[in-house]
Structure 1
Amino acid sequence: MKLATEQDVIRLIEEDEWMMELLRVVNELNLPDWWISAGFIRSKIWDTLHGFTERTPLPDIDVIYFDTSNLDEQVEKQFEAKLDNILPGVGWSVKNQARMHKINQLPPYQSAVDGIAHFPETVTALGVALNSDNQVVFTAPYGIKDVVSLNVKPSPPFQQDLLEVYQQRVTQKKWSSTWPKLQIHNLKEC
């Protein structure tokens, strides 16, 4: 399958019943400004580009939302429990992006998409959701060029003071052992 545009990525997701089921389940929570992000999309793209016929297992499904009215981490755990009750065994991870800026000591994010723009890698800075018409919507603050060309690079917020975080993540994730066509870049190569 050719993956050159955001519409190609949307079509790839729409054709995957498992991904659509997860989107519908998250949509049931009515979270404000919600997205399923990161590896959920990235791994699907990389699996497709590598010609894998079976899905690479995901350690978790990253669900993000944006709600400044309640920053209590326990609320996120309650949403994880609700999702696990609806669809158990998925490994749900729910995070309110209104509080996540504190982890890397950054200014507050303005939305869930702003939170996605502050993910460490451009290939991870991806999100997918359902709109009010239950149609798939996609966000990629840095575009899809890196993810579809299998180039792993730090996102702009991680290119200077947080570069070490990016480098530790790509070393720890060992993505190249699963997807051997990947090119992992240091800042100097970007």
Structure 2
Amino acid sequence: MKSHLRYAGADALTQRQALQAIIADQPVLMGVLEELRDLALPDHLLVSGALYNTVWNVLTDRPALTGINDIDVIYFDASDIGWDAEDRVIKRLEARFAHLPLPVQVRNQARVHLWYEQKYGSPFSPLTSSAEMLGRYASKCHAVGARLDAAGGMEIVAPFGLDDLFAFRMAPNPVLDNRVTHTKKGARAKAIWPELTIIPWPGP
């Protein structure tokens, strides 16, 4: 059996190509990426557990959808940050992806600052892109997104690189007060993928 850490510590290009190959080998993920490209959703990214959990499943020989509750899609459209506009996109994608084995959750990142403080209790400055949102995720290994270009090439967005992902290491990203989220997600992930190392949130 190959080591699940076979890409840990590899150079950035090798890790990026490994991630692209893992995604390309997953029909569900590729189907979502192709539909998103065809829909021309502004500044969209396939993100979160559908990606990083898939990597951990593939590298530990677990079934492809182990531990994945939904498929998260983010986009950025500042032309209309009203709820009605976002809701129309949500309903459109729900219908488009109704055939999938997992629900697709889509959110406009241009609206996050409107509800974040009320929900999580800390201020949140407006974003300027979907990629910028990845830099505010609670755990660095979670900050990865993918999309297809018009020619079918796959773009990977990973503001902290990919080594935490391939090293099975959940390191905190303290740019926001996300201690609860990091801790809670770390405990859940460790129960499913015991190969993970969970680095505690800094401070008391």
* Alignment TM class, shorter chain as reference: 0.7 to 0.9
Query: Is 1:41 the equivalent of 2:57?
Result: no
- 1:149 aligns with one of 142, 154, 167: 167
User: Which segments of structure 1 move beyond 6 Å, counting only runs of 4 or more?
Assistant: none
* 1:82-116 Cα distance to aligned partner (Å, 9 max, x none): 22222215311111111214414222112110011
User: Residue type of the partner of 1:92?
Assistant: V
1:80 lines up with 2:94 in the alignment: no
Q: TM-score, normalised by structure 2?
A: 0.82
Q: TM-score, normalising length from structure 1? A: 0.87
Structure 2: segments with no counterpart, 5+ residues: 117-121
Tell me the equivalent position of 1:96. 108
Number of residue pairs matched?
185
Q: How has the CA–CA distance of structure 1 residues 120 and 101 changed in structure 2, closer, same or farther, with 3 Å as cutoff? A: farther
Asked whether the 8 Å contact 1:42–1:147 carries over to 2, the reply is: yes
2:183–2:201 Cα contact (<8 Å) kept: no
Aligned equivalents of 1:176, 1:168: Cα separation in 2: 10
Question: Is 2:175 the partner of 1:163?
Answer: no
Q: What letter is aligned with 1:186?
A: P
Pick one of 174, 184, 195 that aligns with 1:181. 195
Contact 2:37/2:150 (CA < 8 Å) preserved in 1?
no
* C-alpha deviation, 1:38, in angstroms: 0.8
Q: CA deviation at 1:72?
A: 2.0
- Rounded to whole Å, the distance in 1 between the matches of 2:194 and 2:71 is 23
Alignment identity in percent? Answer: 25
Which region of structure 1 is more displaced relative to structure 2, 111-120 or 54-63?
54-63
